[in-house]
Structure 1
Amino acid sequence: SAYSEKEKLLKAIDVGIDKYVIKPIDMDELFALLEQIVKTKIIGADIIEISGGYSFNQTKKVLVKNGVEIALTKKELAFISLLVKRIGTLVLTEEIRNVVWFGEKVNDPAVRTFIKRIRDKVGAGLIKNSPGLGYKIELKK
């Protein structure tokens, strides 16, 4: 194929694919991925309720606060989507770098500035910080 693995992944992300399996395929990883797809796409609801009047529509890939969609850039949406997929769990800064800035170099101050911009858009209370480790979004209580 004329496309590199990175180009294929970037094309997949553009059309809304949230997982890319690289050959050779690990069967355990494939079955875990299929189980996750069944839970989130087939069985699970499209809307995840988050604390503080927030919700995330997995189908439309939009963050909503009190019924109003919040406009986010692609990278901001990738960040929020990652935290929502792992809701209630700390996502390490290194993983955030790998997902949001795939293949790009980014330093800690740039990540903090990026997250501050998101907090300015969505409200400071949504994204919780564990200094030096990472970030998370809490599930509705």
Structure 2
Amino acid sequence: MRLLIVDDHAEVRDLLLRSLRGEGHEVAVAATAGEARERLATSGMDVIVLDVALPDGSGIDLCRELRQEGTSTPVLLLTAHASVAERVAGLDAGADDFLGKPFAVSELRARVRALGRRGPALRPLVVRSGEARLDFRARRAERASTEVPLTAREWSLLELLAARAGRFVSRGEILELVWGGEADATASLEVLIARIRRKLGEGVVRTMRGHGYALVVD
């Protein structure tokens, strides 16, 4: 796979460069958001490993820019502050996975392989489901042509479901990606699903008992 490592710490870049090249990957590195943009402008990548804290900006902001430009390459965010708020911000920006610092290189390699197998996510800009219309770029939701306010976490969950094109997403994966694996988030997920159905319509989200949820797409 072709990988781009974006991190301003030379030790981290060198460690990941040696480790990932040792697995047979083609690896490019960048120390700043600006360098990352230059790399991506000249060559396509299969996975981007992106540090949140960069000297010339936020990795979350860079991820958001890439998604707005139509880049669908999977992004793994590296963060020293793996708070729920930061994870939600990253998901809203279009990130696919998170890994907190310090991390085990073996886990990073496994997450990179998993993202590479998944491939570019299909991120629909507009989805219709019954009376509901979801515009993910504008963050605008409507029901029967009337705007409906959604929270950041509701958008994160809906975008995750929409990216799977109607397939069921397991509760475990939702809890990991939307709540950061919080142990007590199961009840919060059920509340969030109920709230989305109340706002957008009962038939917008389907439940597979004991497994997870799917977005019903027209």
Same fold (TM over 0.5): yes
- SS of the residue corresponding to residue 82 of structure 1 reads helix
How many angstroms apart in 2 are the aligned matches of 1:30 and 1:95?
Answer: 17
In the alignment, which residue of structure 2 is the partner of 1:123? 201
Distance 2:98 2:176 in 1: 15
**Aligned Cα RMSD in Å?**
3.2
**Match of residue 99 from structure 1:** 177
More strand by share: 2
**Structural mapping, 1:25-64, within 5 Å:** 26=112, 29=115, 33=119, 35-36=120-121, 40=123, 46-48=125-127, 50-64=128-142
Mean alpha-carbon deviation: is it higher for 88-97 or for 57-66? Answer: 57-66
Please say if residues 78 and 100 of structure 1, whose CA atoms lie closer than 8 Å, have aligned partners that are also in contact: yes
| Amino acid corresponding to residue 80 of structure 1 in structure 2 | L
Residue 19 in 1 paired to residue 96 in 2?
A: yes
Q: 1: CA distance between counterparts of 2:88 and 2:211?
A: 30
The answer to whether structure 1 residue 76 and structure 2 residue 165 are counterparts is no
Distance 1:95 1:27, change over 3 A: closer
Amino acid of the residue matched to residue 71 of structure 1? P
Q: What is the number of equivalent residue pairs in this alignment?
A: 132
**Alpha-carbon spacing, 1:86–1:31, altered in 2? closer, same or farther (3 Å):** closer
Which consecutive residues of structure 1, in runs of 5 or more, have no partner in the other structure?
none
Structure number with greater CO (CA < 8 Å, separation at least 6) is 1
Task: State which drifts further: 116-125 or 106-115.
Answer: 106-115
Describe the shift of the 1:66–1:13 C-alpha distance in structure 2 as closer, same or farther (beyond 3 A): same
Deviation of residue 14 (structure 1)? Answer: 7.1
Question: What are the ranges of 5 or more consecutive residues in structure 2 without an aligned counterpart?
Answer: 1-8, 10-52, 54-78, 100-107
Take 1:95 and 1:53, find their aligned partners in 2: how far apart are those partners?
27
Task: Encode CA deviations 1:69-90: one digit per residue, 9 max, x unaligned.
Answer: 3211111111111111113101
Write the distance in 1 (CA, Å) between the matches of 2:94 and 2:170: 22
Q: Which residue of 2 aligns with 1:10?
A: 87
